[in-house]
Amino acid sequence: MGRVFLFIYQYRAFFTFLLLEFFCVWLIVLNNQYQGASFFNSANSFVASVNGFSHNTKEYFSLRETNSRLSEENTMLRKQLEQLNQAVLLADTIGSADSSVIKQFDFVSAKVVSNSIDFQSNFITINRGSADGIEPGMAVINGQGVVGKVKITSEHFSVVTSLLNVDIMVSALMKRTGYFGTAQWGGGDTPDPDYVKLKFIPLHVKPVVGDTVVTSGYSGVFPEGIMIGTIARINPSPETSFHDLDVKLSQDFRKLSFATVIKSNLKPELDSLKMRVPTLQR
C-alpha cells in the first residue's frame, strides 16, 4: 500500500494535470450545446456497442441450452404431428378417431454423448436410459431422419445401434412408387457414412434418381414416413432379381448432436400376435 501512495506522490503533477483536463472537458460539454450533443451521441454509440457485444457473447454461451430446448420442442411437436396424422388417417378410414391408436407413439428427446461412423458396426451413446422409460428395440430418429435402434440401456444412458451398422435393417418405402424394401448399410473396407443400400426392390419397378425413401411403418418400430434419404445411384444388377440402389442419407451422421427416441405403445401387442402365429398354424 505504501508503494501505491509513493507512486501517486511521485506522479502527483501528472495526475493533477489529468484531473484538470477531465474537469475542463466536463465544463465544455456541460456549457456548450454542440459539444454536449456530440459527446452524448458518441457515448451512446459506445455504450450500445458494448451492450451489443455483451448480448452476443451471452447468446453464444447459451447456444447449448438453446439447442437442448429446441430439441425438446421438436420432440413435443413431432408427437403432436404423429397424433394428428393418426387422427386424420382414422377419420378417413373409419370415420372416427380412437384415442388409443392416436397415441401409438411417445417421444423422448436425448443428447448424443458419443458417436462413431468409421467401422462396419457403429454405435451411438445418448444421455437417456431406463429411468426415462427407454428400452432396447426402440427407434431413434431426429429432425433429419432415421438414426438407429436402441440396443442396451443403463439407468441414465443408452447405446444405440446406428443406421451405419451392418446388423441393422429398416423397412423402407419408395414414396413415389409405393414399393417397399429394406434399407441397410453396406459397410465394407472403406465404409461411406453418407449412403445405405435399398434392397429387395424388384427389377420391374422403375426407380429414378432423386426418389424419396422413407420408413414403411410395417415393423411397428418406426412410424411411417420418417425420412431415410433419396436414391442417388442405380447400379447395374444383371444376375439378380432386384435392383442395386444406393440411397443418400438425409442425416449427416458426422454432425449428429441430438436425437429422439420413439416408444411404440402398440408394439408389445403386435409382437405378441406374431408369436402366436406358429401356434395357430399347428
pLDDT in tens, 138-174: 999 988 899 999 999 999 999 999 999 999 999 999 9
Alpha helices in the chain (DSSP H): 2-10, 12-31, 33-61, 63-94, 99-102, 267-281
Q: Looking at residue 49, what is its pLDDT?
A: 64
CATH number at residue 170: 2.40.10.340
The one-letter amino acid at 192: D
Q: Which domain holds residue 23?
A: 14-61
Verify that 175 and 50 share a domain, yes or no.
Answer: no
- 3-class DSSP string for 223-276: CCCCEEEEEEEEECCCCCCECEEEEEECCCHHHCCEEEEEEECCHHHHHHHHHH
Domain identity same for 95 and 117 = yes
Q: What is the pLDDT of residues 77-134, one digit of tens each?
A: 776 776 666 555 445 533 444 555 456 778 888 899 999 998 889 999 999 999 999 9
Same domain, 51 and 166: no
- Domain assignment present for 9: no
Chain position carrying cell 474537469: 23
Cell of 171: 423397412
pLDDT in tens, 225-259: 889 999 999 998 778 889 999 999 999 999 999 88
Same domain flag for 112 and 43: no
Same domain? For 34 and 154 the reply is no
Contacts of 45 (CB under 8 A, 6+ apart): none
Cα dist from 16 to 8, 10, 19, 25, 26, whole Å: 10, 12, 5, 14, 15
- Best CA proximity match to 180, nearest among 206, 198, 203: 198
Per-residue confidence (pLDDT) for residue 123, from 0 to 100: 96
Are residue 106 and residue 186 in the same domain, yes or no?
A: yes
Say if residue 5's pLDDT is above 50.
yes
In the chain, the percentage of residues whose pLDDT exceeds 70 is: 74
In a domain, residue 144? The reply is yes
What residues contact 89, with CB distance under 8 A and at least 6 apart? none
pLDDT digits (tens, 9 = 90+) for 33-86: 655 556 555 655 655 566 566 656 666 666 777 777 777 777 777 767 766 665
Tell me: do 72 and 49 sit in the same domain. Answer: no
In a domain, 281, yes or no: no
Tell me: do 160 and 171 sit in the same domain: yes
Is the domain of 70 the same as that of 183? yes
Domain match, 89 and 145 both: yes
Number of domains in the chain: 2
pLDDT at 122: 94
Instruction: Tell me, yes or no, whether 124 lies in a domain.
Output: yes
The residue from 61, 83, 100 where one domain ends is 61
Q: Is residue 280 a part of any domain in this protein?
A: no
Asked whether residue 154 falls in the same domain as residue 265, the answer is: yes
- Tell me: do 75 and 92 sit in the same domain: yes
